[in-house]
Amino acid sequence: MSYSVELWLFDLSNGMAKQLSPAFVGREIEGIWHTSVIVYGKEHFYGSEGICYETPGSTLVGTNTYKRFPMGETAIPPEVFYDYLKQLGDTQFSGDKYKLFEHNCNNFSSEICTFLIGKPIPEFITNLPNEVLQTPFGQMIKPMLESMQPQVSSQHSHNQTSRFQ
């Protein structure tokens, strides 16, 4: 059996990055990207809560996708994938390992797309944090943004979310 794999791309700035980035960063940045992977009828994502999945479109970012990328098909059965997610949630993608710039939702999406279909997500998404941090403005705002990064909490307020931790 074959399962469709789709990458959902969200602009967390709602267009503000595109408008303001030339003045602050010195070049246009199309968006501040958040990604999730849709497979087996669920939306899979990573954040400071760890690895989570929900019904597609019911996450905090909703259905306001900037773009949807059909990534391909996988023959990996759901049971194997969810065992793999459990392993990732216990190791490299636990909530306490989330880092806004270095180890985020986009790294997770790339990891699971590589597992499912043998190829990562587009580099313009995963390279963006490093590109911004290479600018004087990026260096200036990094400490402020990192201090605002949510910490792992013991309870999740959205009951529909399933977590791997």
Q: What is the CATH number for 134?
A: 3.90.1720.30
Instruction: Report if residue 155 sits inside a domain.
Output: no
- Where does residue 15 fall: left (phi above 0), alpha (psi -120 to 50 degrees), or beta otherwise? left
> Mean pLDDT for the chain?
86
Instruction: Report if residue 157 sits inside a domain.
Output: no
- Give the best-scoring range by mean pLDDT among 22-31, 35-44, 56-65: 35-44
- Pick the residue with more confidence: 161 or 50? 50
Instruction: Report if residue 160 sits inside a domain.
Output: no
Instruction: Report if residue 164 sits inside a domain.
Output: no
Structural domain harbouring 63: 3-149
Q: Which residues are catalytic?
A: 34, 105
Q: How many domains does the chain have?
A: 1
Is 19 in a helix, a strand, or coil?
Answer: helix
Q: Please give the Cα distance from 37 to 60 (Å, whole number).
A: 15
For residue 64, is pLDDT > 90? no
Instruction: Report if residue 62 sits inside a domain.
Output: yes
Instruction: Report if residue 156 sits inside a domain.
Output: no
Determine which of 71-80, 95-104, 142-151 has the lowest per-residue pLDDT on average: 142-151
Instruction: Report if residue 158 sits inside a domain.
Output: no
Instruction: Report if residue 59 sits inside a domain.
Output: yes
DSSP letters spanning 59-102:
STTTT--SEEEEEEEE---HHHHHHHHHHHHHTTT-GGG-BTTT
